[in-house]
């Protein structure tokens, strides 16, 4: 059975997509069968995996509206194959923004993705879902099918405030819709230890969330921005570098530990 993880934080620009594609590539690099689902109409994880969102014939939109199965809509990327870290991609583009409205009338609309994934469950070891920067029906679909949530965050002033909303949403989903759901870990990204405020927020995080904070810290690094322009925003592209490796092993540890 595939382990399904959402990468979520309703705050924008905190590194969700970068974390998702790097983790997907890192897991693929060591032979895991991975499906990466882009649940964001911005389509950044799709582009970041080397698939042109403007040329998608079928996407996660069609899967949510039940006009295609995951097997029909998934794509692969030559760039990932070249890098030796190939994973399947269920892509997204701006069409997905319409799904929110189109699903309003539908019954069990928050379980659409879960139902669709059940058909390919045996084909993957990991399913990673890149969520949009909102607590919307799209994010809810991700949370309803996931075993866990990875929360990337920047150690900044308002970070903890937003986190409370996210944690409450996760608790509500767990209580009402998906008993399997747990927080896998909070991942401190774009971290600069020279900035005192970041250290303070980091300390507060550890005080509040203790062992739910990943040991691994992702430093601010200019490389993802540069590589983003080429269409691949991996830090590892070819070599499974430190970012995916350390986050991968922590995710792995959590994935193999039964939920408490
Ligand atoms: N460790 C890092 N160091 C420097 N820049 C980074 C790092 N991680 C991500 N970035 C850059 O920060 C920006 C936001 O990252 P990303 O797109 O992953 O965030 P996001 O949470 O997915 O954003 P959104 O909420 O819009 O979906 C991007 O330009 C990305 O290249
Ligand atoms: Mg994103």
Confidence check: pLDDT of 240 > 60 = no
Q: Which two tokens stand for residue 104?
A: 């309003």
pLDDT at 231: 38
pLDDT at 244: 53
Does 189 contact ligand 1 (Cβ within 6 A)? yes
Measured CA to CA, the distance from residue 243 to residue 29 in angstroms comes to 13
**Which chain residues have CB less than 5 Å from ligand 2, an ion?**
16-17, 44
What's the mean pLDDT in 105-116? 93
Structure-model confidence comparison of residues 76 and 242, the more confident one: 76
- CB of 36 within 8 A of CB of 88? yes
- CB of 158 within 8 A of CB of 191? no
Instruction: Give me the domains of the chain, ranges plus CATH numbers.
Output: 3-256 (3.40.50.300)
> pTM score, two decimals?
0.91
**What SS3 class is residue 74?**
coil
Give Cβ neighbours of residue 180 (< 8 Å, ≥ 6 apart).
Answer: 146, 147, 259
Confidence check: pLDDT of 16 > 60 = yes
Ligand 2 centroid, distance to 152 Cα (angstroms)? 11
Measured CA to CA, the distance from residue 18 to residue 228 in angstroms comes to 10
Q: What would the pLDDT profile of 67-104 be if each residue is shown by its tens digit?
A: 999 999 999 998 888 878 899 999 999 999 999 899 98
Which range (23-32, 83-92, 213-222) has the least confidence? 213-222
Which range (27-31, 34-38, 52-56) has the least confidence? 27-31
pLDDT at 218: 82
pLDDT at 196: 93
What are the residue ranges of helices labelled H in 131-260? 137-145, 159-176, 196-209, 223-228, 242-256
Does 68 contact ligand 1 (Cβ within 6 A)? no
Nearest atom in ligand 1 to the alpha carbon of residue 130 is 22
Ligand 1 centroid, distance to 15 Cα (angstroms)? 4
């Amino acid at each position: 059975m595939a382990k399904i993880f959402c990468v979520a934080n309703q705050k924008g620009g905190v590194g969700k997509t970068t974390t998702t594609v790097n983790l997907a590539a890192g897991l693929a690099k060591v032979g895991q069968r991975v499906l990466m689902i882009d649940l964001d109409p911005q389509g950044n994880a799709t582009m970041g995996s080397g698939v042109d969102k403007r040329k998608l014939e079928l996407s996660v939109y069609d899967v949510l509206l039940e006009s295609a199965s995951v097997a029909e809509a998934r794509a692969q990327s030559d760039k990932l194959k070249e890098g030796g870290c190939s994973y399947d991609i269920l892509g997204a583009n701006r069409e997905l923004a319409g799904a929110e409205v189109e699903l309003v009338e539908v019954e069990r609309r928050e379980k659409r993705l879960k139902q669709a994934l059940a058909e390919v469950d045996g084909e993957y070891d990991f399913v990673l879902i890149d969520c949009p920067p909102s607590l919307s029906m799209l994010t809810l679909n991700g949370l309803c099918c996931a075993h866990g949530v990875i929360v990337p965050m920047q150690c900044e002033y308002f970070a903890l405030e937003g986190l409370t909303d996210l944690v409450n949403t996760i608790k509500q989903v767990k209580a009402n819709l998906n008993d399997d759901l747990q927080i896998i870990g909070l991942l401190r990204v774009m971290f600069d230890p020279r900035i005192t405020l970041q250290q303070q927020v980091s300390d507060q995080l550890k005080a509040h969330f203790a062992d739910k904070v990943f040991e691994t810290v992702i430093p601010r690094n200019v490389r993802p921005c540069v590589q983003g322009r080429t269409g691949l925003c991996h830090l590892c592209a070819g070599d499974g570098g430190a970012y995916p490796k350390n986050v991968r092993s922590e995710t792995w540890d959590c994935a193999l530990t039964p939920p408490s």
